[in-house]
Amino acid sequence: MPELDDKVRDLLSHYDPATTDKAEFLGARFDAGLAWVHFPRGRGGLGVSRGEQERVDALLAAAGAPAPDVGRNSIGMGMAAPTLLAFGDADQQERYLRRIYTCEDIWCQLFSEPGAGSDLAAVATRARLDGDTWIVDGQKVWTSGAHHAQRAILVARTDSSVPKHAGLTYFVVDMSDPGVEVRPLRQITGEAEFNEVFLSGVRVPNSDRIGDVGQGWKVATATLNNERVAIGAGAAREAGQIGVVADRWRRDPSVRTPGAQAELLAWWVETEVTRLAGVRLRQQLEAGVPGPESSAMKLAFARQAQEISGLALELAPEEGLLYDDWTMTRTERPSFLGRGPGFRYLRAKGNSIEGGTSEIMRNVVAERVLGLPADHRPDKGIPFKEVPR
């Protein structure tokens, strides 16, 4: 598309990637509409096809231009931004989208709770309106990256007199509020990517409410669908665990056996089918927000990551016994592939929990994609305050 090529050339002529500060360059790229080209003009895009993004990215990468740190700000880039675009008002989009793209603001997601993980609609964290400010009290858990986040997306209960899905509202929280306390959760790998977050009298301006009061479940569903696309739909062939194992197979003849070859080939084909299904899912996004089909992608990703990391240990079982460091580290971004095969095997165990458990993914696919009968839900239609907990 000639207009896009002209835009890229113009950006590079005014902001030399070799000498321009990274945040300044990314801000200029956002202003030029080259951040998310399918977003509207003035919101980081040009209102063109999502498929043009790959061309823009390639042109800028060839020129040595910096890219946003998607790994460190995956929730901001992959979940908060599309949710703000779909449900935020003009003021919220103006305040937040550019700073998300430049990574000046890192975001986290205050959704899961000790009693509301798989059943997100059962969240008990309360938000009550005091004048033009919401006062939030409660506890969240399994919050990735909360220890370095400046902002958070939050689902809280604003009405307990209606059934659980109808009493939720969606907010943006300033993580520097004195009522926010973040505590680390140590994982089986020794790292602490996740956190508990305690909210005590946290003040949220009504101007940071996303969507209408009581519309939180609808907004959160859009966020979760985007999250599952981000987790499940890898873009490159041999990305992730299969790439690591295939590379080892090519480099090291000592791990090659007929049985392992057959297993590796089967997983290579399955991951490639999943990748191509992800490409089709991304194409469907051209028509609007992602649908429940994204749950199938996330489900497939989790299963493949766990099985293939197990295959890596079968190829070299002694390496699974070697673990170099159990020191608790506070990582800034998720690492599924870091360190050795023992780390990858342990880290993959969390893939079937984070971003929605595999059990919930199967329910979503069964009910909302395949149209099968729904599970029995004894709390359906009952006011939340009357549901035994």
List residues with catalytic annotation. 227
Angle formed by the axes of helices 22-31 and 90-101, to 10°?
140
Angle formed by the axes of helices 241-251 and 341-348, to 10°?
160
Q: HEC string of 178-204?
A: CCEEEEEECCCCCCCCEEEEEEEEEEE
Strands 151-157 and 107-110: parallel
For residue 161, list its beta bridge partners: none
Q: Are 309 and 345 in contact (CB under 8 A)?
A: yes
Query: Distance (Å, rounded) from C-alpha 373 to C-alpha 249?
Result: 44
For residue 153, list its beta bridge partners: 109, 172
Residue spans of alpha helices (H) in 119-184? none
Closest CA to 37 of 25, 24, 55: 55
Q: Are 269 and 242 in contact (CB under 8 A)?
A: no
Query: Distance (Å, rounded) from C-alpha 375 to C-alpha 389?
Result: 19
Angle formed by the axes of helices 294-315 and 216-232, to 10°?
40
Closest CA to 234 of 70, 62, 30: 70
CA angle 350, 323, 257 (to 5 degrees): 85
Q: What are phi and psi of 238, to 5 degrees?
A: 60, 25
Tokens of 332: 């800034």
Tokens of 88: 């935020």
